[in-house]
Chain A
Amino acid sequence: DGGITQSPKYLFRKEGQNVTLSCEQNLNHDAMYWYRQDPGQGLRLIYYSQIVNDFQKGDIAEGYSVSREKKESFPLTVTSAQKNPTAFYLCASSRGGTYNEQFFGPGTRLTVL
């Protein structure tokens, strides 16, 4: 089955701790994205990567970091510098080029205690 997986589904973190969210895709997509969704709001772009070993900041990158060492994987680290990290985090991918349709993984719900 082709798709996007995210783990864990739920994550609890104490204030001051860094945490890494996993995103893996086996769709052979070139581009990958991380979004954040807060209750009752649309999605906001954190980081995106169009190709391996390259990534760009989105609208709300402060307090987050990413890496793209493999085509299939785009992990997101939420650092202690992120002031309001409690949110629903969504990873997406697309084929790239002229194919802009983005497909989402199931998401990780992060709660800071």
Chain B
Amino acid sequence: QKEVEQNSGPLSVPEGAIASLNCTYSDRGSQSFFWYRQYSGKSPELIMFIYSNGDKEDGRFTAQLNKASQYVSLLIRDSQPSDSATYLCAVIAGGTSYGKLTFGQGTILTVHP
């Protein structure tokens, strides 16, 4: 079982819709969770981080964390074509060396006009 798994995608949504990206992790002691956006040929850009159970909102983005279910998600409201990118989920597992991020394989999102 992979340590961090993301829904395989690709995910295609129409402009203006809600895009939902999901991520599960295997280590129940994981403590910190991150979402990065990566455009083709570019480096990842941090868009959200969440440390506590519940929802965290920032503009059109909402991160949701459920530690009991070992599940973290990213919702993008009012999706725009500029949101088309690969979204990477990353986790700092419990008991690991400080700052060691483990990444999922990414989900490709396409927002079509």
Contacts and interface: CB of A to CB of B under 8 A. Distances in A.
Interface of A: 31, 33, 40-45, 48, 50, 56, 58, 90, 94, 96, 100-107
Interface residues of B, number: 22
Nearest to A45: B100
A96 B97 CA distance: 12
A102 B46 contact: yes
Q: Is the interface of B mostly helix, strand, loop or mixed?
A: strand
Chain A interface helix/strand/loop/mixed: strand
27 contacts: A31-B99, A33-B99, A40-B105, A41-B106, A42-B4, A42-B104, A43-B88, A43-B90, A43-B103, A44-B103, A45-B101, A48-B97, A48-B99, A50-B98, A56-B97, A90-B43, A94-B99, A100-B32, A100-B92, A100-B98, A101-B46, A102-B101, A103-B46, A104-B36, A105-B43, A107-B42, A107-B43
